[in-house]
Chain A
Amino acid sequence: MSILTCEKCGVTNYLDPYTFWDYEGNFKCAGCGELYFVKKVNGQIKNGPTAGKGSEYRLPGYAEKREGNNFTPMNEEGNVSPPAKARADFQGKPIDMEESVRGNLVAGRPLKPEELKGGIWKEILE
C-alpha cells in the first residue's frame, strides 16, 4: 500500500511514487509524528508498516484526515514534503481560475446536489 492510515492518530499518509516507489526506511506520520518502517519494491509493500527503525525518515508527499466523506488536508510545513515552488518567497493565497475559455465552468464546475448520488457523481455510477 502507498496509502497508509496511522493506527495512532487516524491520519492517512500518501507515500508518493517519486519518493517511495522503491524505498526501504521510515516515514513519519504527518498527524502524530510516529515513525513507521516500510520496505517497498516496485510499488509493492514487501515489509511493514512496522514500528520505525532508527531515527532517519522521509515525509509523506501528502496527508489527510478522513471523517466520512470529509477529507481534511494535513499539509502543514514539516508534516509532508514541501511543494515545488515557482517563487521561494511565495506566501500568498493562490487565486485559482474559475472559467474555461468558453466562459463557463464546463470542465471545472462544482457538482450540484441533484447531480450527486450520495457523494458520487451520478454519471460515473451509470
Chain B
Amino acid sequence: MGDNGKCLWPLSPAPTFDEVYQGAPEQEIEYNRFLESVMHPRESGKKPEALDGIRVLDCSTGMVIGHWASSMLSELGAETIQIEPPEGDELRKLTPFGRKDWYFKDKENGEEIGMHFLHEMRNKQSITLNLETEKGREILKKLAANADVLIENAAPGQFDAWGIGYRQLSKANPRLIYCWVGQKGQWGPDKDRPGELEPTAQCACGFTHGTGFPKSFGGVPTRSGLWMCDHVGGTTAAMGIITALIYREQTSRKGQFIEATGAEAIIRINDYNWAWYGMDGSIRPRYGNWDLAINIYAVNPVVDGYLMVGGGHDRLWYRIWKTVGKDRPDIEELIVLDKDLRVVTNRVSHYAQVKTYTALCEWGKDNTRQEAEDKLLSEEVASGGVLFIDEVAEYAHFKYRGHVNVIDDALYGKVLYGTSPIFAEKTPARLKWIGRPIGYDNRDVYPRLLGYTKKDLNSLSKEGVI
C-alpha cells in the first residue's frame, strides 16, 4: 500500500472458475457454480441487508470493543452513526510505531486517520457531539428517541449521572436496546478501577498466562498481538444486540439493557481451564506451539518459517512418519520403533512430545514450508505453512473467495481490507465504504433526524457542542 489511490494488490490475479474446478466431476462443478452464485461476495451488493432499518448510535470512544460491535452491525446493514467528541475519537491517531506516513488522508480535507480506526469505521457515519455539555446530552436524548440501539463505554454510571443512561433513555424510547461495553464490567468491586483497557483484560482473564512458550523452555506470558478481548467482547456485544432485537420483535416489543466485556468474553473461551482447576487445583500451563492433549498438533520451525502439522491419531501419525521416512528413515525409525509412542495417549506425555517434535524438526530443518506441506499433503496429512500477511493477501484461495479485497473508497482511495466473514445467500454482510473523517456526516444526520438547519449546526459548532 502507498499513498491514497494506490494499492499494490494483487500481485497476481485470482484464478478463474475454470482453473479452480478443472478436472472436477460435473456434479461438483455444478454444485460449486450454485454455491458461488449464492455465496460469493461479488454478488452481495445486489442483495437486501439483514439489519436494514435498524439505527445504531455508537457512543463508545477510546476502545475498539464498541467500534468492533457496531462494525458487525454496520456490515449487516444497520444504519450506524459513530458519535465522537468534537476533536474526534483518540483512536483516530493510533498508527504503527507512531508514523504519520502510515496515516490515510481523506480526499476532501486531507484529514489524517490511523488504519486501525479507519477499518472499524466501515459503513458508519461520523457525527460529532460533546456529551460533556448539557446541550450535547439533550441532543443525544433526541437522537436516542429515534434509535434502535445505543452502544457506550463511558465510565460506569457516567451516562446515568448525566441523565442519558439506560434508565432515562428507555423511558423516552422503551424499544431502545442499550449496550454497555468495557473490559471487566460496569458493576462489581473493580468497576471504577482506572486503566481498564484491552491489555489489562487479556491479563485479567487467564489468557495471557496461558499463552506463550512453557516456562521450563524460557517462555513468558504473552498477550495476543491483536486486540483480542476487544474483538471477542465486541462480537459478543453484537450477538447480544441482535438477540435482543429478535426478542424485541418476536416477544416483548421492548428493548433492554445489555452488557458485554472483553475479559469475560475470554473467560468463556477459557472453557476447560475452569473445570480442570476446579477438579484438583491444576493450572493449565503455557505450552507454546504444542498442544496439551494432542500430539502431533503444533507449529514447527522449518527452513523458511513455521509449519502447522496435525495428526494425533494412528492414521495420520503413521502417515507423518512415513512422509518423514522417505527423506530420513533414521528419524522415522526412532519414532515407529519406540513402543512408548504406539499408544496415542502415551504420545501426549511431555517427554513424548519433546521427542516427537525434536524428531519432526530434524526433518523440517531441511524443508521449506512449501516442500514440507507438499510432502505431507501427498500423504493426506493436515498441514499448512504459517503465512505472512503478504502471503495471505496473495493466497489464491482467499483471493478467489473475495476474502481479501480492495475498495476504491470515495474519500480514501484504494484500501486493502478483510471482508466480513458472514457470507449468506439472501442477506450477506458487505462493505459499502471504509470510513469517514471527523463529523463528516453532521450535515446529513442532524438535518435528517432532528431537522437542524445549517444555521443551527454553525451555532452548535461555535458553542463547542458538535
Question: A residues bordering B, Cβ < 8 Å?
Answer: 1-3, 14-19, 21, 42-44, 61-62, 64, 69-71, 73, 75, 80-87, 90, 94, 96-98, 105-111, 119-121, 123-124
* Nearest-CB residue, chain A, relative to B216: A82
Question: B residues bordering A, Cβ < 8 Å?
Answer: 213-219, 276, 280-288, 300-303, 312-315, 318-319, 321-322, 325, 331, 334, 336-340, 342-346, 349-351, 354-355, 357-359, 361-362, 364-365
* Nearest-CB residue, chain B, relative to A66: B334
User: How distant is the Cα of A18 from the Cα of B365 in the complex, in angstroms?
Assistant: 13
User: How distant is the Cα of A62 from the Cα of B284 in the complex, in angstroms?
Assistant: 21
Q: A2: which of B213, B343, B345, B362 is its contact (CB, 8 Å)?
A: B362
Q: A124: which of B284, B336, B357 is its contact (CB, 8 Å)?
A: B336
Chain A neighbourhood of B361, CB < 8 A: 2, 17, 21, 43
Rounded to whole Å, the gap between the CB of B149 and the closest CB of chain A is 42
Contact B216 A83 (CB under 8 A): yes
Sorted from nearest, which 10 A-B pairs have the closest CB atoms? A43-B365, A108-B344, A83-B350, A107-B313, A86-B282, A62-B354, A61-B354, A84-B285, A84-B214, A18-B217
Rounded to whole Å, the gap between the CB of A65 and the closest CB of chain B is 12
Contacts A84-B287, A94-B349 known; A107 to B364 CB distance under 8 Å? no
Contact A14 B322 (CB under 8 A): no
| Dominant secondary structure of chain A at its interface with chain B | loop
Contact B301 A84 (CB under 8 A): no
Contact B340 A71 (CB under 8 A): yes
User: How distant is the Cα of A70 from the Cα of B312 in the complex, in angstroms?
Assistant: 23
Given contacts A14-B354, A42-B365, A108-B314, 18 further A-B contacts (CB under 8 A): A1-B362, A2-B359, A3-B334, A16-B217, A16-B358, A17-B300, A17-B358, A42-B303, A61-B351, A62-B355, A80-B354, A83-B216, A84-B350, A90-B282, A96-B343, A106-B314, A119-B336, A120-B337
Contact B313 A61 (CB under 8 A): no
Contact A64 B303 (CB under 8 A): no
Q: List 27 A-B contacts (CB under 8 A).
A: A2-B358, A3-B362, A14-B354, A16-B354, A18-B213, A18-B218, A19-B218, A61-B217, A61-B358, A71-B340, A75-B351, A80-B354, A85-B285, A86-B283, A86-B284, A87-B281, A94-B349, A96-B343, A96-B345, A107-B312, A107-B344, A108-B344, A110-B342, A110-B343, A111-B342, A120-B337, A121-B342
User: How distant is the Cα of A123 from the Cα of B349 in the complex, in angstroms?
Assistant: 25
* Nearest-CB residue, chain B, relative to A41: B365
User: How distant is the Cα of A62 from the Cα of B287 in the complex, in angstroms?
Assistant: 16
Rounded to whole Å, the gap between the CB of B109 and the closest CB of chain A is 49
Chain A neighbourhood of B301, CB < 8 A: 17, 21, 42-43
* Nearest-CB residue, chain B, relative to A125: B322
User: How distant is the Cα of A53 from the Cα of B49 in the complex, in angstroms?
Assistant: 69
Rounded to whole Å, the gap between the CB of A102 and the closest CB of chain B is 12
Contact A120 B336 (CB under 8 A): yes
User: How distant is the Cα of A13 from the Cα of B315 in the complex, in angstroms?
Assistant: 28
Contacts A87-B283, A96-B345, A107-B314 known; A80 to B351 CB distance under 8 Å? yes
User: How distant is the Cα of A80 from the Cα of B214 in the complex, in angstroms?
Assistant: 14
Contacts A62-B354, A83-B350, A107-B313 known; A3 to B343 CB distance under 8 Å? no
* Nearest-CB residue, chain B, relative to A62: B354
Contacts A86-B284, A120-B337 known; A19 to B217 CB distance under 8 Å? yes
Chain A neighbourhood of B350, CB < 8 A: 83-84
Rounded to whole Å, the gap between the CB of B333 and the closest CB of chain A is 8
Rounded to whole Å, the gap between the CB of B87 and the closest CB of chain A is 47
User: Among B214, B315, B344, B359, which residue has the most Cβ atoms of chain A within 10 A?
Assistant: B344
Contact B337 A69 (CB under 8 A): yes
Chain A neighbourhood of B358, CB < 8 A: 2-3, 14-17, 61-62
